[in-house]
Amino acid sequence: MFYYIPIEPLEERYTEQWYRWFPDALQKRKVDFKVIDGETLTNKIVSGTFLDINSTLHYKAEQLKVIARLFFLNKIKDGDVFFVADLEFWGIESIRYLADLNNISVRIYGFLHAASYTKEDFMAKCEKYGRTFEEGWMKICDKVFVGSEYHKNQVDNARSSEYDKVVVTGNPYNIDEIVNKIGRVKKKNKIILTNRPDYEKRPNLSLDVLRILKHRHPDWEIMVTTSREKWGKGWIREKLILDLERGWLTLREGISKEEYLKELAESKVMISNTIEENFGYCILEACIFNTIPIIENAYSHPELVMRDERCLFTDIDDQIKKVEEAMAKPFKVRQYAEQYENVLDDILDMCIDGYFKKSRKILIPR
């Protein structure tokens, strides 16, 4: 039996897609599986950034209750597999405790998105004690999947004792589903900012860059989007509203996934000034529509665009220059998203059979 332990599905996060994609893939493989679901307190992010911190703990606690009951009812058998969609999971070590104390041999796999060592992550303030838990969560796993070589190196620097367990796969993706949501659209002279407006994404820097570009190219459209009810807060929002009142940009708040993808597909360029990125779904989504990402030459970015220097900037001046070049002479970038098409199959091959069946399509640049 394959037990899938998902992250709670939120529309504004890729967790909603993972919630569907893994069971669908297991069903196609005719694998016996069970989804270990929980119960959320909210479907919005009230406190936190990536997930609502209170709701996700409640959801995870409910999942642990289901797992404990399965052990109690003797449903868990030798050879069963557990896949933890988010290894930053308080209490997940209970699976290994229950298996060992019940003398049952199970395999546990987990996907590690980020942890308290991740720069300015919302969990960073917990690093003093979180590092101990995180290493324990990795120790209970047979393998730990991460989205990039960059993130694996982060693990090596921060949690080196578990480095050999870490497997770079990229993050699962479904290009056809994304394309089919909106169909074909016509490109406009538009630049888009899609990052969530949390400070580690440095939205203030992105707004500065967009302001300069608008001054130089008044006919270009500047688009800022968010699925949240309001984009940003405090002084960052005030900065955005000032630019909005001056007519320098267009703001779309509270938009659906389909609306966001349409805006993204219509744009020629997307920008990001984040100071950390273990894997960038916004970058992949841009590439699918040949919307050129202009991103810093750091973090996981070079891997995502196969070290295409036309996409990678070194400083703000270089970023502005490369945006202008991409707008003047667009080029294809969809192939950078296509390198991740087989990731879900790769992960399930490893979890179910213990090895990658096919040659990996993902291209790790050297």
pLDDT digits (tens, 9 = 90+) for 43-73: 777 666 667 788 888 999 999 999 999 999 9
CATH for 176-338 is 3.40.50.2000
- Taking alpha carbons only, the member of 154, 122, 160 closest to residue 139 is 160
CATH for 2-173+340-353 is 3.40.50.2000
Write down the pLDDT at residue 50: 66
List, by residue range, all CATH 3.40.50.2000 domains of the chain: 2-173+340-353, 176-338
Write down the pLDDT at residue 205: 95
- Taking alpha carbons only, the member of 215, 214, 226, 216 closest to residue 190 is 214
> Using CA atoms, how far apart are residues 8 and 58, in angstroms rounded to an integer?
10
Residue 26's H or E segment, with its range, is: helix 15-28
> Using CA atoms, how far apart are residues 166 and 142, in angstroms rounded to an integer?
9
Q: Fill in the DSSP letter of residue 125.
A: G
- Taking alpha carbons only, the member of 109, 113, 85 closest to residue 22 is 85
Write down the pLDDT at residue 232: 87
Whole-prediction pTM:
0.89
User: Which residue(s) pair with 158 in the sheet?
Assistant: none
| Tokens, residue 209 | 């860059």
Q: Kindly give, in sequence order, each residue whose CB lies less than 8 Å from that of residue 358, ignoring residues fewer than 6 positions away.
A: 342, 345, 346, 349
> Using CA atoms, how far apart are residues 125 and 109, in angstroms rounded to an integer?
26
Write down the pLDDT at residue 12: 63
Low-confidence ranges of the chain (pLDDT < 50): 359-366
**Is the distance from CB of 269 to CB of 291 less than 8 angstroms?**
yes
Strand runs (DSSP E) across 1-133, as ranges? 2-5, 33-35, 81-84, 107-111
